Amino acid sequence: MNDLTQLSLAATRDGLRAKSFSAREVADAYLDAIEQAPALNAYVAVTQEQAREMAKASDEKLAKGEGGALEGVPIGVKDLFATQGVHTQAGSHILDGFKPEYESFVTARLWADGAVMLGKLNMDEFAMGSSNETSYYGPAVNPWRAAGSNKDLVPGGSSGGSAAAVAAWLCAGATATDTGGSIRQPAAFTGTVGIKPTYGRCSRWGIVAFASSLDQAGPIARSVEDAAILLTSMAGFDPMDSTSADLEVPDFAAAVERGVRGLTIGVPAEYRMEGMPAEIEALWAEGLKWLEAAGATIRDISLPHTKYALPAYYIVAPAEASSNLARYDGVKYGLRVTGEDLLDMYELTRAEGFGREVKRRVMIGTYVLSAGYYDAYYKRAQRVRTLIKRDFEEAFADGVDAIVTPATPSAAFGIAEQDMHADPVKMYLNDIFTVTVNMAGLPGISVPAGRSAEGLPLGLQVIGRPWDEETLFAAARVIETSRGMDFAPTKWWI
């Protein structure tokens, strides 16, 4: 069978259980596809031998009528997740050669459920970026191209490799992380589905830290159902993570077809930004009509502190990054550049090991935490964060079940089209619709809903109450079934 990579994750799982094909056949099909796609630069390490060993073990279990929820299903892993004995560098030179002796909680749960690891996926360095252009390994490339154009486009960031690999049939699903939109924005750019769950739903243990109060793991998949299946395996309580919630994990896939009849969907006035492209506005309006036709009530709401979210985020996140990244000094692991003394080694290692964007954010973070500026910047940003969270709480308390907004302010743009060094704020504006969700710790999902005038994917975002990812899957499924179009890119990279 030559089209195993074209199957959904759910269909792959079901076919393996029915013994329609073997886990080894599926793994080989994906490994062949990866080998033919170097132009996408989606993988920074491919684990062929390990994948085939894991597939063999899955076939043995399936032959006995055993196996976990994802037995034999091939998965790609964002380079931010620790994988025992396997390349884990967070897209950075400073972790050169690092292979951890432990497994992240999330990937350990996936392997326990029978998933097969294909390799590690490209990403912005330390998850700092909105285009996957800050990676030490070079940018991942979006499998989508504008109609009539051969120009390479960004897949979004920081989980650009995850989104590109899923969209290009290089894995059945992928792990990703979201600190300010790093799951939802690349999902929107690549026509895939990505969910950032409630903060605490997935353990952060074994994930390289960017901003600890904002980081959250989640899946990117080709459909709402596939994302729900993956999240069910990824989520769960972990005593090793003090922010992990000790809550039962629902069967998220069971909620996908629940529908939205009787739900109230909020539409925040503050997300109608000045200069918003007409096609984004039209897509938003159409998505609301689909939900209304499915039985939901649409209501205008106000989230008055939204305008402060982006500047507050770019104080809080760099501040936490400057603290988290202080551990990389060349002493125990990763890159080491020899100097005249210990301090010189620190400086030379960090100068060579960190990229420009990481250095920028570390310096910003150090500045806002320094004496004399802590109260003026960091403390004030945390107060704004509280107000943003309160806006959502008041909307939900007033009977709103979910909130629908655009996922991004535009479709995917060209690689090197936005000069992040000359004008970093322009790049940061790509996160304008997503950062509020992280600041408030809420769940949010991006689902492909339409295409731009150039034929590129556009996504809508659904934001939910804490711990209510089930409503997000139900609403996203309504959008998915209403859109009436396919989101499969043309294979130009083979």
Six token digits for residue 243: 């922010």
Residue 398, burial from CB neighbour count under 10 angstroms (0-12, 13-18, 19+)? exposed
DSSP 486: -
Residue type (1 letter), 396: F
The backbone torsions φ and ψ at residue 260, rounded to the nearest 5 degrees and listed phi first, read -120, 10
DSSP code for 244: -
Q: Which residues of 289-304 are buried (b: 16+ CB within 10 A; e: fewer)?
A: ebbeebebbeeebebe
426 pLDDT higher than 80? no
The active-site residue out of 22, 92, 182, 322 is 182
The answer to whether the predicted template modeling score (pTM) of the entire model surpasses 0.85 is yes
Quick one: DSSP state of residue 40? Answer: G
Per-residue pLDDT reduced to its tens digit, 392-408 = 999 999 999 999 999 99
At residue 347, the 3 state secondary structure works out as: helix
Instruction: Kindly report, residue by residue over 364-379, the tens digit of the pLDDT.
Output: 999 999 988 999 999 9
CB 223 within 8 A of CB 13: no
* Nearest CA among 208, 383, 205, 245 for reference residue 305: 383
pLDDT score for 430 = 82
Q: What is the pLDDT of residue 247?
A: 97
Q: How far is CA 7 from CA 11, 169, 173, 195, in A?
A: 6, 9, 11, 20
Residue 158 annotated to the active site:
yes
- Per the structure block, which two tokens stand in for 362? 């570390």
Say whether the peptide bond before residue 159 is cis (omega within 30 degrees of 0). Answer: no
- The domain spans of the chain are 4-256
What Cα–Cα distance (Å) separates residue 432 from each residue in 181, 363, 377, 389, 422? 9, 22, 20, 16, 19
Q: What is the pLDDT of residue 1?
A: 45
Q: How many beta carbons lie within 10 A of that of residue 261, not counting itself?
A: 11
**Is 78 annotated as catalytic?**
yes
CA–CA distance, 360 with 366 (Å, rounded to integer): 10
Q: Quick one: average pLDDT of 332-348?
A: 94
Residue 422: predicted pLDDT: 66
pLDDT of residue 460: 98
Q: Quick check: is 56 catalytic?
A: no
Spatial distance between the Cα atoms of 294 and 53, rounded to a whole number of angstroms: 46
Q: Which residues contact 223 (CB under 8 A, 6 or more apart)?
A: 8, 9, 10, 193, 480
pLDDT digits (tens, 9 = 90+) for 296-324: 999 999 999 999 999 999 999 999 999 99
List the one residue out of 315, 303, 310 whose CA is nearest residue 130.
310
Contact between 63 and 95 under an 8 Å Cβ cutoff? The reply is no
Options 22, 58, 78, 233, the catalytic residue = 78
Contact 320, 365 (CB under 8 A): yes
pLDDT of residue 421: 63
At 397 the three-state DSSP class reads helix
CATH for the 4-256 domain, from 1.20.1330.10, 3.40.47.10, 3.90.1300.10, 3.20.20.80? 3.90.1300.10
pLDDT for residue 134: 96
| Res 222 pLDDT > 70 | yes
Spatial distance between the Cα atoms of 358 and 127, rounded to a whole number of angstroms: 9
Query: Chain-wide mean pLDDT for the chain?
Result: 96
Residue 418 has pLDDT above 90, yes or no: no
Q: Which two tokens stand for residue 135?
A: 């990676």
Q: Where are the beta strands (DSSP E) in 242-330?
A: 264-268, 297-301
What pLDDT score does 276 carry? Answer: 87
pLDDT at 97 over 80: yes
pLDDT at 357: 95
Residue 2 scores a pLDDT above 80: no
Nearest to 308 by CA among 466, 181, 435: 435
Across 22-27, average pLDDT? 98
DSSP state of 199: T
Q: Are strands 116-121 and 74-78 parallel, antiparallel or unpaired?
A: parallel
Among residues 92, 158, 159, 203, which one is catalytic?
A: 158
- Which pLDDT tens digit goes with each residue over 223-240? 999 999 999 999 999 999
- Count other C-beta atoms under 10 Å from residue 344's C-beta: 12
pLDDT tens digit sequence for 35-69: 999 999 999 999 999 999 999 999 999 999 999 99
pLDDT of 202 higher than 70: yes
